Structure 1
């Protein structure tokens, strides 16, 4: 029994359709599995909730990494995963503190540490004294080197590191208050 050309074309079309559907199913399964195995990104709010309170960190005799951040800060969000990993590695030896710049409660600390861009990291020694700072999207390795030196009581290798930042937009600016944390205490005349 021979197959005529129209039956042959129909068979070829069905075979092509079957291949397309099979490839689509395989790609869909790969995408779903890839999304399920991907490391979830760290939530800044969750990280802040789990961080050590500042007053406890300054008095417990451990060195401290203070991060000034905001939930809207894309640079802060970009670094969240790395900071979560560093916290996991160093949490026995280093306090991790997160202070949200949108909370005017932290204005004195923002002025003290001269926060004018975020993320802003303040490295404090075991006594709570300033050991260095880093601002912006800092490579994980640079932060890790600083944390290792901080734990060892050594000078930070990257004591003034700087990367891409987000401008500080605090709750004070949103409310129209004249105190701008970027002014470092200067009075604004309106």
Structure 2
């Protein structure tokens, strides 16, 4: 719970005055999101996007082309999971992935290997996210010797 408060507090620092409400593109991304329970057992590469409804950069990214990257990722068989840091059910993921700035992206291969470098905080470079998704799908085409499935914390 403390981590969620820290994320909420840091997220508030990023908002500035007059932060936008949840944008339509962000609403659409949330609606299309793969549930975490499905992603964790699918054996597919996965992007975890941690966001907050009032986060200016989260809304700007969604309106600025991130939704199209999400659609492209889905067409290539990649799960895209939206995790709202204001939702207490995401606290264990916030803690596991060390989320402290928003938006925060994690890239996980189909074999469950986590990219060592998350994308986090501030304005989102859409082309960089698209390149990371492409690398994720390319890595999985080359194959890994690791067992399938994401490495997620267990429920309590």
Scaled by the length of structure 1, the TM-score of the pair is 0.56
Indicate the residue corresponding to 1:147 in structure 2.
Answer: 133
> Secondary structure of the residue that 1:121 maps to in structure 2?
strand
Indicate the residue corresponding to 1:124 in structure 2.
Answer: 108
**By how many angstroms is 1:88 displaced?**
1.9
Aligned match of 1:83 in 61, 66, 73?
Answer: 66
Which segments of 5 or more consecutive residues in structure 2 lack a partner in the other structure? 1-22, 141-156
Partners of 1:68 and 1:118 within 8 A in 2: yes
Indicate the residue corresponding to 1:161 in structure 2.
Answer: none
**By how many angstroms is 1:99 displaced?**
0.5
Which segments of 5 or more consecutive residues in structure 1 lack a partner in the other structure? 1-40, 155-190
1:133 maps to 2:118: yes
Alpha-carbon displacement from aligned partner over 1:17-56 (angstroms, at most 9, x marks no partner): xxxxxxxxxxxxxxxxxxxxxxxx6432332122000121
TM alignment of 1:1-190, pairs within 5 A? 42-81=24-63, 82-92=65-75, 93-131=77-115, 132-136=117-121, 137-153=123-139
* Higher RCO (CA 8 Å, separation ≥ 6 residues): 2
Partners of 1:59 and 1:127 within 8 A in 2: no
Partners of 2:25 and 2:67 within 8 A in 1: no
Alpha-carbon displacement from aligned partner over 1:159-183 (angstroms, at most 9, x marks no partner): xxxxxxxxxxxxxxxxxxxxxxxxx
> Secondary structure of the residue that 1:49 maps to in structure 2?
helix
For 1:129 and 1:68, locate their aligned partners in 2 and report how far apart those are by CA, in whole Å.
18
Aligned residues: 114
For 1:55 and 1:127, locate their aligned partners in 2 and report how far apart those are by CA, in whole Å.
16
Between stretches 95-104 and 57-66, larger displacement belongs to 57-66
For 2:40 and 2:127, locate their aligned partners in 1 and report how far apart those are by CA, in whole Å.
25
For 1:127 and 1:42, locate their aligned partners in 2 and report how far apart those are by CA, in whole Å.
33
For 1:143 and 1:66, locate their aligned partners in 2 and report how far apart those are by CA, in whole Å.
12
Alpha-carbon displacement from aligned partner over 1:102-154 (angstroms, at most 9, x marks no partner): 01111110000000010000111103331241002221111111011100117
